[in-house]
Amino acid sequence: MSTGGKKGDLRFKRVLLKVSGEALMGSAQYGIDVETVGRIAREIKQAVEIGAEVCLVIGGGNIFRGLSGAAQGMERASADYMGMLATIMNALAMQNALEGLGVSTRVQSAIPMMSVCEPYIRRKAVRHMEKGRVVIFAAGTGNPFFTTDTAAALRASEMGCDALMKGTQVDGIYTADPKTNPDAERYEELTFMDVLSQDLKVMDASAVALARDNNIPIVVFSIHEPGGFVSVLNGTGRSTIVKSSAA
């Protein structure tokens, strides 16, 4: 697929890309697949090259998921902090892949870890993006009991993003799981209230409510579609957009 697009014709200029930790596993059952991380990094580089300002939040489920740890008897806050540390590992892996492609990158962590990355400072992050750097936000919100989805909505709000891009396993939101139900239909558009009232599993409710309150559309697309990220930025790719009101 052609990546298409040129500077000036983007539907969304400044975006936060949310990627699950599981997306970094590739075909493996655990951990980080370097080839998969490299492919996603190339998608991000293409977006930067056509003028998009990009920041990222990456989950940690490929290494450790706080809720899973809590379900096995761990104290929830401790399990969540472990999950936050997993997101830092993923952020450093993505930084390494992006800088290997010549993309200037900064990692900012909500849990200070000065030896490996910057602490999260909002004004500094905004300045990095204005200079064309990709900023990767790690360690969630820095607080237990909040998911990386909520962290993504929070950082998108703080950065003044035009959209929150949710890279998933499928090319949008469907009436049912398209992998198991061939009759499932894809939504083109939904409102925030549609997602909340129908309990659609796009992002957790607090993330959706935060995006709604700050009027930041959520765009759900396939992170595995070659050129998909740039196509969605251009407004031509397959996706579902969640916004305040339907067209």
Pick out the residues of the known binding site. Answer: 18-21, 60-61, 65, 80, 141-148, 168-169, 174, 177
Asked whether the beta carbons of 211 and 153 are under 8 A apart, the reply is: yes
Calpha distance 243→247 (Å, rounded): 9
Asked whether the beta carbons of 214 and 157 are under 8 A apart, the reply is: yes
Q: Which residues make up each annotated binding site for ATP?
A: 18-21, 61, 65, 168-169, 174, 177
What tokens appear for 227 in the block?
Answer: 């050129």
Calpha distance 198→170 (Å, rounded): 19
Amino acid at 187: Y
Calpha distance 15→48 (Å, rounded): 11
* Cβ atoms within 10 Å, residue 131: 10
Asked whether the beta carbons of 101 and 41 are under 8 A apart, the reply is: yes
Residues in the chain: 247
Question: Would you give the DSSP letter of residue 112?
Answer: -
* SS3 of residue 9 by DSSP: coil
Q: Which residues make up each annotated binding site for UMP?
A: 60, 80, 141-148
